[in-house]
Copies of this chain bind each other. A is one copy, B any other.
Amino acid sequence: MDENILSYLKFDEKGLICAVVQDMEGKVLMVGYMNREAIEKTLKTGKMHYWSRSRKKLWLKGETSGNYQFVNEIYIDCDGDAILFKVNQKGGACHKGYYSCFFRKYKDGKIEIVEKKIFDPEKVYKNGSEI
Q: Which residues of A contact B (CB under 8 A)?
A: 2, 4-5, 8, 18, 20, 22, 25-28, 30-31, 73-79, 81-82, 84, 94-96, 98, 101-111, 114, 131
Contact = CB atoms under 8 A, between A and B. Distances in A.
A100 B75 CA distance: 11
Contact of A84 (B102, B110, B111): B102
Copies of chain A in the complex: 2
Given A8-B111, A25-B26, A111-B8, A31 B105 contact: no
Contact of A78 (B25, B26, B77, B94): B94
B103 A78 contact: yes
Contacts of A30: 77, 82
